[in-house]
Structure 1
Amino acid sequence: MKNVVLKMDVSLDGFVNAKGGKIDWIYDNVNSELKAYITNMLWEADVHIMGRRTYQDMAKHWPSSTEDYAPPMNEKPKVVFSDTMKEVDWQYSRLANRGISEEISQLKQQSGSYILAHGGASFAQSLSRLGLIDEYRLIIHPVILGGGLPLFKNISDAIKLNLVNTRVFDTGAVLHTYQTIRN
């Protein structure tokens, strides 16, 4: 069975967006080493899942981009979760046919490596609340934002995790990989 992997960039104080929604602080810590790691992770995933807002942002950017992340973003299958969208037009994308838990359960049954969940914070929070994330890959950047949009919010029950890997990048960003402990 495939795992659902959430990859998120997070400030040291736990925010995924600074006040006003800014994310430029992330790019201060992305060098060739970190970029290679992320590109490889994008390629290794069998399918990418995301919510409406992330899909709309990515669908505007990646099809015409020449950046390192563009080929896997454009060539890998994508499943979009939205209650309001009627269609998607980014190549290899489709709208989820069922509710989030059912759709992810069906994706997990397929053979392959893993399902890569892209935030937005609200999509990531929904996946966390529903207990659908098997592995968290948090890239913690050496910056304190002092406010903004937190990664974890409105989680009713504790999510127990097991740290399985840590990797320090030259920029000071640190990847923490946690697996969810299931009872």
Structure 2
Amino acid sequence: MRKLILQVQTSVDGYMAGKDGGASWMLWNWAPEWSWDADLQQYHTDLSASVDCILLSRKMAKEGFIHHWAGMAKQTGNPQARFAGYISQAQKVVFTKTLQKSEWENTVLAKGDLKEEVNKLKQAKGKHIIAYGGAAFAGALLRSGLVDELHLVVNPVAIGQGLSVFSSLTGPLPFSLIAATGYNSGMVLLKYGKPS
């Protein structure tokens, strides 16, 4: 069965965005210059190569995620081009209740029950699946028990208050630590899996 990986950038105090949704405090967030160090860039590229399906919230898709990385994939001189190519080649599944048709290439809409739609994708043949989205979408995936691996990319900054991927949980959600890796840029990658 395919594995669902949720990758989330957070602050050291556990927020993935400010109260207003802003993320200017992140070391790197869709910027033209890739300010992560080479080892962290390689992790991100390898992770993108390991998947062939990307789950997105409607909001992230509408904010330009698909178009941005399709454009970046064409900038062959940019170190982001390689992983952006993997993103462009992967099937994108946008979860929405309001959109009537896909506005993007290689993208389908998922309009049914979140758990049913994701489990159907997990049963299909292919590489692993990765999810990107805001606090509500990522939180719903966690709350539904759909996430097989959680990759927290922790920025070396505290923001005091904001949006948390865990705020909608109704009880404890245990994980097993797979790996913890520190990087020269000050970032820390925490990989968690479901407890065995």
CA displacement, residues 43-88 of structure 1 (integer Å, 9 cap, x when unaligned): 2112100110011121342232334342122111111100001111
1:134-173 matched pairs, under 5 angstroms: 134-173=148-187
Moved beyond 4 Å, runs of 4+: none
Amino acid at match of 2:131: A
Contact kept? 2:139, 2:167, Cα under 8 Å: yes
Amino acid at match of 2:107: S
So what's the TM-score if we normalise by structure 2?
0.85
1:44 match: 50
TM-aligned CA deviation for residue 23 of structure 1: 1.3
**1:84 is paired with a residue of what secondary structure?**
coil
1:26-65 matched pairs, under 5 angstroms: 26-27=26-27, 30-57=36-63, 58-65=65-72
Unaligned runs of 5+ in 2: 29-34
Query: What is the percent sequence identity of the aligned residues?
Result: 30
Amino acid at match of 1:156: T
TM-aligned CA deviation for residue 19 of structure 1: 3.8
| Bigger shift: residues 127-136 or 27-36 | 27-36
* CA distance in structure 1 between the partners assigned to 2:22 and 2:39 by the alignment: 23
Against the structure 1 CA distance between its residues 55 and 31, is the aligned structure 2 distance closer, same or farther, given a 3 Å change threshold? same
1:1-183 matched pairs, under 5 angstroms: 1-27=1-27, 30-57=36-63, 58-65=65-72, 66=75, 67-68=80-81, 69-96=83-110, 98-181=112-195
* CA distance in structure 2 between the partners assigned to 1:166 and 1:23 by the alignment: 23
* CA distance in structure 2 between the partners assigned to 1:110 and 1:60 by the alignment: 26
Unaligned runs of 5+ in 1: none
* CA distance in structure 2 between the partners assigned to 1:153 and 1:111 by the alignment: 33
TM-aligned CA deviation for residue 27 of structure 1: 2.5
Against the structure 1 CA distance between its residues 19 and 102, is the aligned structure 2 distance closer, same or farther, given a 3 Å change threshold? closer
* CA distance in structure 2 between the partners assigned to 1:148 and 1:161 by the alignment: 23
Q: What is the Cα-based RMSD across aligned positions, in Å?
A: 1.7
Between Structure 1 and Structure 2, which shows a larger proportion of strand residues?
1
TM-aligned CA deviation for residue 126 of structure 1: 0.7
| Bigger shift: residues 96-105 or 43-52 | 96-105
